[in-house]
C-alpha cells in the first residue's frame, strides 16, 4: 500500500513538473494563433490566425536566418566532432605530461561566460574580415561546442573496453584506424548525443550572433528579437516565429531519440 501511494505521489509530482515546463510552450503556441489586438492569455482564440506563420516566415529576413542557423549549426557540429574526437581519445587513452592542465583549460573555456569572448572576437573579426560571415560564426561557436564535444566524447571513450583496441593493434591497425574503425562505431550513440546537444546550443545562442553578425549571417534568435517595434511587441508574429524555430529541434529529437538516449546513458557511467 505504501509503495502504491509513493508511486502515485511521484507520478503526480512529475506530471505537475511537466506541466510547469510545458506552460510556456502552450502559451507560445496559443499566442502564435492570435490577432495582435488580442491579449496574451493561454486560451486559444475562437478563430486561429494561421497566417501568422506565413507572415513570420516573410518578416525581417526570418527565412534566410532560419537557413543560416541550420548551416552554421551543422558546420559547427561537424568541425567540433572531427576535431574533438581525436582530442577526446588522447585525453582518455594517453597519460602524457600536461594532460590535466590542458583538459582543465578546455573545461574552463567552456564554463566561462560568452560575454568574455565578445570584445576580442569582434576586434579580431573586423580585422580579419570574418565579421558577419557564416564561416566566422562557425569558428566562433567552437568556443562553445568543441570543449563540450571533447568532454562528452571522452566520457564515452572511457567506457570502451581497452581489449578491443589492443586486439585491433595486434591485427596491425594504426592508432587512427583503431579510433575510426573500432572505437568510433562503439561510441556512435555518444557521437549522436554530443552532436545534438551541440547543435541545440548553437541554435539557441543569442550573444555570439548578436555581436558578430549583422545581415548576412543572422540567426533565428537575433531575427526573432528584432521583431519588436519601437516600444511595442508583435507577440503573435514573434510567437509564430518561435514555434517555427522550435520545430527542427523537436523533429531532430524525435528522429534520433533512441540514439540520443543510448548515448546519454552510455556517458553516465563513472570513470
Give me the mean pLDDT over the 20-28 stretch.
85
Q: How many CB atoms lie within 10 A of CB 191?
A: 20
The pLDDT confidence band at residue 151, using thresholds 50, 70 and 90, is: confident
Give me the mean pLDDT over the 174-197 stretch.
87
Verify that 37 and 79 share a domain, yes or no.
no
Would you say residue 13 lies in a domain?
yes
Verify that 136 and 5 share a domain, yes or no.
no
Q: How many CB atoms lie within 10 A of CB 134?
A: 16
Q: Do 259 and 188 touch, CB atoms closer than 8 A?
A: yes
Which residue in this structure is represented by grid cell 570513470?
271
Would you say residue 212 lies in a domain?
yes
Would you say residue 54 lies in a domain?
no
Q: How many domains does the chain have?
A: 2
Highest mean pLDDT among 33-42, 66-75, 143-152, 256-265: 66-75
Would you say residue 85 lies in a domain?
yes
Please report the pLDDT score of residue 271 as a whole number: 46
Verify that 141 and 252 share a domain, yes or no.
yes
- Domain of 180, CATH number, reads 1.10.3720.10
Would you say residue 271 lies in a domain?
no
Give me the mean pLDDT over the 216-233 stretch.
81
Q: Do 187 and 266 touch, CB atoms closer than 8 A?
A: yes
Would you say residue 214 lies in a domain?
yes
Cell numbers placing 33: 494563433
Verify that 41 and 67 share a domain, yes or no.
no
Give me the mean pLDDT over the 168-178 stretch.
85
Verify that 37 and 80 share a domain, yes or no.
no
Higher pLDDT, 95 or 131: 131
Q: Do 193 and 84 touch, CB atoms closer than 8 A?
A: no
**What is the Cα–Cα distance from 90 to 100, expressed in whole angstroms?**
12
The residue ranges of DSSP E strands in 95-164, in sequence order, are none
Verify that 23 and 66 share a domain, yes or no.
no
Verify that 20 and 90 share a domain, yes or no.
no
Verify that 113 and 36 share a domain, yes or no.
no
Verify that 198 and 65 share a domain, yes or no.
yes
Verify that 30 and 144 share a domain, yes or no.
no
Buried b (16+ CB within 10 A) or exposed e, 224-238: bebbeeeeeebbbbb
Cell numbers placing 35: 490577432
Three-state DSSP class for residue 206: coil
CA angle 138, 69, 204 (to 5 degrees): 95
Give me the mean pLDDT over the 200-208 stretch.
90
| pLDDT at position 73 over 90 | yes
Q: The domain containing residue 23 runs over which residues? A: 1-49
Verify that 126 and 99 share a domain, yes or no.
yes
Verify that 198 and 147 share a domain, yes or no.
yes
Would you say residue 151 lies in a domain?
yes
Would you say residue 6 lies in a domain?
yes
| pLDDT at position 234 over 90 | no
Amino acid at each position: 500500500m505504501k509503495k502504491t501511494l509513493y508511486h502515485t505521489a511521484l507520478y503526480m509530482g512529475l506530471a505537475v513538473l511537466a506541466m510547469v515546463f510545458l506552460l510556456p510552450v502552450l502559451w507560445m503556441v496559443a499566442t502564435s494563433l492570435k490577432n495582435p489586438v488580442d491579449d496574451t492569455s493561454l486560451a486559444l482564440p475562437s478563430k486561429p490566425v494561421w497566417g501568422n506563420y506565413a507572415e513570420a516566415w516573410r518578416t525581417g529576413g526570418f527565412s534566410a536566418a532560419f537557413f543560416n542557423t541550420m548551416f552554421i549549426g551543422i558546420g559547427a557540429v561537424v568541425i567540433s566532432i572531427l576535431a574533438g574526437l581525436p582530442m577526446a581519445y588522447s585525453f582518455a587513452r594517453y597519460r602524457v605530461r600536461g594532460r590535466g592542465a590542458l583538459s582543465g583549460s578546455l573545461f574552463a573555456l567552456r564554463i566561462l561566460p560568452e560575454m568574455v569572448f565578445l570584445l576580442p572576437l569582434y576586434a579580431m573579426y573586423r580585422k580579419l574580415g570574418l565579421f558577419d560571415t557564416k564561416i566566422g560564426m562557425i569558428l566562433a561557436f567552437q568556443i562553445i561546442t568543441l570543449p563540450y564535444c571533447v568532454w562528452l566524447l571522452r566520457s564515452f571513450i572511457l567506457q570502451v573496453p581497452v581489449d578491443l583496441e589492443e586486439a585491433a593493434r595486434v591485427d596491425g591497425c594504426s592508432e587512427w584506424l583503431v579510433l575510426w574503425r573500432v572505437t568510433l562505431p562503439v561510441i556512435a550513440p555518444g557521437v549522436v548525443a554530443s552532436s545534438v546537444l551541440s547543435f541545440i546550443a548553437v541554435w539557441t545562442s543569442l550573444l555570439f550572433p548578436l555581436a558578430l553578425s549583422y545581415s548576412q549571417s543572422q540567426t533565428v534568435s537575433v531575427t526573432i528579437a528584432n521583431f519588436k517595434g519601437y516600444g511595442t511587441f508583435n507577440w503573435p508574429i514573434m510567437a509564430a516565429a518561435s514555434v517555427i524555430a522550435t520545430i527542427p529541434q523537436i523533429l531532430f529529437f524525435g528522429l534520433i531519440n533512441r540514439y540520443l538516449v543510448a548515448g546519454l546513458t552510455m556517458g553516465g557511467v563513472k570513470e
